[in-house]
Amino acid sequence: MKEIKKAVVACKVFYQEILEIVEEHDYQNITVEFLPQGLHNKPDSTQMKDRIQEKIDELEEREDFDYIILAYGYCSGGVEGLKTSRAKLVVPKVHDCIPLLLGEEEAGEEVEAEAGAGSGDGAGDGVEAGAGTGANEGNNSDKTYFLSRGWIDCGGDVYKQHLHLTDSMQDWLDRFAAFQQENERAEIDWQEDDSYHFKRKYSEEDAEFISFECLKGYEAVVLIDNDNLASIHREYAQEKYKFVDRLLEKYRGRGIEYEEVKGDLGFLAELLFPEIYSGEGFEAETGEGSGEGEVEGSEAEKVGGTREAAVEGAGEKTGEGSGEAAVEETGKLLIFPPGEELKLRKHLLGSS
C-alpha cells in the first residue's frame, strides 16, 4: 500500500505543538513549513493568502504530495480562495487557532472571527484578532485575550507594542534573548516584525490611550498550557495581565481576570494524523488526476472528530453540482480536491 505523503503549512503559533506531535509519532513522511504568526494582522487579508499560496505552490513544485494540510483557521478571510494543483487541501473547520490549542471540537456558534476582533487592534496586535472566538457559550470567550507558548514566542501583542512605543522593551528583549540562548529549539522572533522597528516614541499617556482602545472590550487574560510553558512564559503573561488590569481599571473603572487553563492537542493531532486518531484516515492517491476528493474510512469513523463525534458529518460531500470535484466534509475537517478554491466561510456560517 502506498504511503501517504503529507505537507503541513502552519502558522508559527503552533511551532512547539506541531513539532512535538510529529516527533511523538516518529513520522518521517511529512513535511512541515511554518509561516510568520503575524500574517493575519495585516489590514489586507490577501497578503496572508498570497504568502500561504506561495508556500503551497513551492511545496507542489518540490514534491508530489497526496495532501497539504493547513494549520490555520478562517483568520479573517486569510485562507479564502487558496487552492492546490495536485494535492488535496485539508483545513480544520474553525474560525481561528484557539480551538486547535484548547482541543475544542468545533468553533461553535460564535460570530465570525473578524466580528470577534471588534474591540479593535490599532497597535498591530495578533492576539486579539485571533482570541475573540471561543467555543463555549456564556463564558465571555469572545472577550478573552488568549496567550500560549507560540503567541508569546512569535506573536506581537498590545503590551509589547506599548513597551516599544514608550522605549521600554530592552528588559524583555534581553530576557527572551537569554531564553533563546539556553533553549536551542525555541523560536523567539516576535521582535522581528516591522512594527517594532519604527523610531517614533510616544508619551506614556498617548501610549496608554492607544493600548486602551485596543483592549477596552476584554474581560479576561487566559494563558493556555499545553505542557510546553517555561517560567518566562508565565512571567510574561502575568506581567502583561497586570498591565492590562491596571489600564482597564484606570480608564473604564473595571479591571480584568487572569486564568491559566490546560490545553488539549487532540484536535491538532487529528488534523495532522487522522489515520491514527479517527479511523483509517487519508487515502494515498493510486491513480492520476482522479479528482474525486474521497477519503478512505469507515462510515462511523472518518477523518476528523473524536471517535465519539466522528460520525457527525462524516462522509458528507458539499458542492454546487460539482460532481467529482465535491468538497468532502468529514467531522471537523474540510478536504478540497485539487483545483477547487478553499471556501471556509460558508461552512462556518452553515450555508450551502
The residues facing 221 across adjacent strands are: 145, 258
Domain range list for the chain? 6-99+266-348, 116-262
**Which run of H or of E encompasses 61?**
helix 45-62
Cα–Cα distance measured from residue 303 to residue 291, given in angstroms and rounded to the nearest whole number: 18
What was the pLDDT predicted at 104? 65
Contact 328, 334 (CB under 8 A): yes
Express each pLDDT in 176-195 by its tens digit: 999 999 999 999 999 988 88
β partners of residue 316:
329
Query: Whole-number mean pLDDT of the chain?
Result: 79
Q: Which of 100, 143, 114 is CA-nearest to residue 41?
A: 114
Name which of 46, 17, 340 is nearest 150 in CA terms: 17
Buried/exposed 263-302: b ≥16 CB within 10 Å, e otherwise: bbbebbbbbbbbbebbbebbbebeeeeebbbbbebeeebb
Question: Can you read off the three cell numbers belonging to residue 228?
Answer: 510546553
Surface-to-core class of residue 130, CB atoms within 10 Å of its CB (0-12 exposed, 13-18 middle, 19+ buried):
buried
Supply 172's cell numbers. Answer: 524583555
**Residue 325 φ/ψ, nearest 5 degrees:** -90, 15
C-alpha cell read off for 164? 516599544
Amino acid present at 48: M
Phi, psi of 239, deg, nearest 5: -70, -40
Higher pLDDT, 320 or 326: 326
Cell of 209: 490611550
The pLDDT assigned to 254 comes to: 97
Cα 96–Cα 97–Cα 102 angle in degrees, nearest 5: 120
Flag whether pLDDT at 19 surpasses 90: yes
Count of positions (residues) in the chain: 352
pLDDT tens per residue, range 74-132 = 888 889 999 999 999 999 999 889 999 999 643 343 333 333 333 333 333 333 433 44
Residue 291 predicted with pLDDT over 70: no
In this structure, are residues 121 and 214 in contact, taking their beta carbons and an 8 Å threshold?
Answer: yes
pLDDT digits (tens, 9 = 90+) for 241-252: 999 999 999 999
**For residue 1, what pLDDT is reported?**
56
